[in-house]
Amino acid sequence: MPAVWTDPAVDWDAFALVVVRSTWDYITRRDAFLAWAHGVPRLANSAAVLEWNIDKRYLAELAAAGLPVVPTTFVEPGGAPDAAALSGEVVVKPAVSAGSLDTGRHADPDAAAAHVTRLHEAGRTAMLQPYVAGVDEAGETALLYLGGRWSHAIRKGPMLVGERRTVDGLFLEEDIRPREPSAAELELGEHVMAVVAERFGSLLYARVDLLPGPGGEPLVVEVELTEPSLYLETNSGAPGRLAAAIAARV
């Protein structure tokens, strides 16, 4: 049965398993969300996974583990980005975010710095990444894993182009299609999943988002372990695989 994480009437102890799905409203109340997660006895993915994953500073850990990650600079409130982080075309977003909200693409260093300032004024850590131009033509590849195994993949159209509408104020409208991933993308996805599994064990669900680097090589832009869209409708076997993975956990 569906239930809302903020509903005080729900008895979370009564469920054999609680599966996190579309909790996209947590970004403005992270501490309350994590307190709820740690209070649920049987949660997938676990509260420890959620706590690590909802702050995108995990990207620095993945890079330190040797994975090819889109270069990322994190700037805490009170700090200022250096000139190198602002040079060229850059993407600025909060370290705790979902659905590409409060994310901007800037060619003007002053505009990028002003975006960082706005995030800091709201008490948020900012992150800066160079805009990966290959996404304009190739799009983004998302690899979906269910029960610890690769299930299917989708192509997501470039998000930071033109005017984009939000859906119920929760996420930007997306252009989604099925995709057959390359061997290099699948190999990188397996490496990412191995690093995560070494720390947290096998996960019920995961999404690894990749962008094409300057030479076409895949780069990790995000690893979604908290509340990702799994795009089950794009693959006829995906709903059954998720159901089987949930049943195995129960």
224 catalytically annotated: yes
Is residue 184 within 8 A of residue 153, CB to CB? The reply is: no
- Among candidates 65, 69, 71, which has minimal Cα distance to 196? 65
Give, as one character, the DSSP assignment of residue 69: B
Which is catalytic among the residues 207, 222, 227, 241? Answer: 207
Radius of gyration (Cα) for the chain, nearest Å? Answer: 18
Q: Cβ contacts of residue 63 below 8 Å, gap of 6+?
A: 69, 72
155 catalytically annotated: no
CA distance 230 to 232: 5
CA angle 165, 146, 95 (to 5 degrees): 45
Q: Which helix (H) or strand (E) holds 220?
A: strand 218-224
Q: Cβ contacts of residue 1 below 8 Å, gap of 6+?
A: none
Which is catalytic among the residues 29, 177, 187, 233? Answer: 177
173 catalytically annotated: no
Active site residues: 177, 207, 224
